[in-house]
Chains A and B, each alone.
Chain A
Amino acid sequence: MGSARLYLAVAVGGFRRYASYRVATAAGVFTNTVFGLILVYTYLALWEERPGLGGYDQAQAVTYVWLGQCLYATLAIQGGGAEKDLMERIGTGGIAVDLYRPVDLQLWWLAGDVGRAGFQLLGRGVVPFVFGSLLFPMALPAEAAAWAAFAVTLLLAAVVSFGIRYLAALSVFWLMDGRGIGQVLMITGVFFSGMVLPLNAFPDGLGDVVRVLPWAAQLQVPADVLMGEADVWGAFAFQAAWAVALLAAGRLLQSAATRRVVVQGG
């Protein structure tokens, strides 16, 4: 189990790296809380006009908002997780050093990103969520099983989120610069995850499409699992399928990319 301990150590390192920036964390908590308030009042106005929009009542809509704020940094929905560091390492050529080490590149970055997500959840996500639940009526489950299922769905969401961003980061091997792809990542992440509006509330046609895209696994699926709106095993299967597909694609792209890195900087 030597390698399990290694990747655990990498995850712990990822956690500690983010924990070392306390002011940034505090600023993030403040931002997510303010954004949560703005969105809650917007949603309340919307649900007042359109009760039952997307199959949610007002308490569920409010819960969705605060969960979104909780997971925004946790899942790096607009980017800014491991992929940011990876892009920089590819851009500066530091990635070559990483290849000399007896580690699996993808697992290494996945472990670091899961550690980062763990810190962001505790350090940055929980506070706005608890704040929201104290101020507004929310649709939270009472039974432990639902919370356990939610924990599983969160872990799967973290892997899917990493899978998307890892692919984006590897593109820098060809693009040479991560800024453009970072913008794409931000816009697609925010929109397709349902940060603007729950994917359930999207109109037919577009809604049918966005609900099967991998981004749906980040916020919509965990929200529905938490609020008992989804079949738990179906949700797990959906997330797991995307996780496997994205990681496999990442592996393919990685082997093509590492062949490339060795050509540069001869």
Chain B
Amino acid sequence: MRDAFIELDGVEKVFDVWRKTGFMKRERHRVRAVDSLSFTVARGEMVGYIGPNGAGKSTTIKMLTGILTPSGGRLRVAGVDPSRERMRLAHRIGVVFGQRTTLWWDLPLIDSYRLMHRMYRIPAARYRENLERLTELLDLGGLLDVPVRQLSLGQRMRGDIAAALLHDPEVLYLDEPTIGLDVVSRTRVRDFLRRLNAERATTVLLTTHDLRDIEQLCSRVMVIDHGRLVYDGALAGLHEAGESERTLVVDLERELPPIEAPAPARVVRVEGPRQWLAFPASASAAELVAKVAARYPLVDLSVREPDIEAVIARMLGPSGGAPEPPQERAGRTPS
């Protein structure tokens, strides 16, 4: 058992929000942004942290970095209470927000890095070594002297990731690191993160709406909704929890009435000679294929894996999970 690097035990965060109810009249609402949240992340783990907008992801990260104090419960990062020792902890964590930059807009990229050098008091030799390594891995060589405002989104994102890692943080919080990036940039960022985690054992907590990020990077995923952890486990298990289904697509020799599929599989769509069969993600596809092939003239077939986004949506239910207090409804959009 590896040591627990991030430790939450019954953490909660309650906000008082004042809402205008009329001219000069306001009403106080208590919003439970995070509700008895408990989980641990071991050193070197790479965990996906997902959930709909407003579920409490950012609030959690703000508590983990110490800029927000929990209303209750116990929270430790590297054995330290973040809100009490925010400045000290800041030297040990890295934060990347996909939609926000920490880089100096008007100045060449290298100027922001020199500033990180001072800000985190990185010893000169280590700074040079890290800068060289990150420049190479993130392919920033030709960009160091380019003002940040002239970088493309993908380049800027890579620049921001390097900025967050120059001081060798033990844990990296990533919020939507691939948002808005093209396929090439996205792949490059994912490859880099995989390598970072494998080679330097950096603990990574990844928040994203792009579930391919999670599929490709994280063996463990936590789903939060209404401030509560609704799932914590392997990605594969998420399918079961969401009772997700795979789809077998078969091309028959000719148009036929819907196949009499062996239960629990069932035909969900017919289009000419092509038919779609849904079956539980946990069931064997081979068995189903064999049974269908034995009775019907098959030309071709393919199996489609369930879309995790759909799985999560199903798991959270049609209304998005638990009954929703009215004051939280504003600003919520389905993921």
Contact = CB atoms under 8 A, between A and B. Distances in A.
Contacts of B114: 9
A200 B93 CA distance: 54
Interface of A: 2, 5-6, 9-10, 13, 16-17, 20-21, 92-94, 96-103, 258, 262-263, 265-266
Given A20-B107, A94-B101, A258-B67, A102 B120 contact: yes
Contacts of A101: 90, 102, 119
Contacts of B100: 92-94, 96-97
Interface in B79-119: 87-88, 90-91, 93, 95, 97, 100-102, 104, 106-107, 111, 114-115, 118-119
A96 B68 CA distance: 11
A100 B95 contact: yes
B280 interface: no
B120 A99 contact: no
Interface in B97-146: 97, 100-102, 104, 106-107, 111, 114-115, 118-121
Contact of A10 (B15, B56, B115, B147): B115
Interface string B39-76: 00000000000000010101100100101100000000
Contact of B62 (A2, A6, A16, A262): A262
A266 B118 contact: no
Nearest to B88: A102
B119 A102 contact: yes
20 contacts: A13-B104, A13-B111, A16-B107, A17-B106, A92-B100, A93-B100, A96-B62, A96-B97, A96-B100, A97-B97, A97-B100, A98-B102, A100-B67, A101-B102, A102-B87, A102-B90, A102-B119, A103-B119, A258-B67, A263-B15
B107 A266 contact: no
A266 B58 contact: yes
B17 interface: yes
Nearest to A85: B105
Nearest to A98: B102
B118 A5 contact: yes
A118 B56 CA distance: 43
B180 to A, nearest CB: 15
Contacts of A21: 106
Contacts of A102: 87-88, 90-91, 119-120
B33 interface: yes
A248 B220 CA distance: 47
B59 A266 contact: yes
Contacts of B54: 266
Given A13-B115, A102-B91, A97 B101 contact: yes
A98 B67 CA distance: 11
B168 to A, nearest CB: 14
A67 B189 CA distance: 52
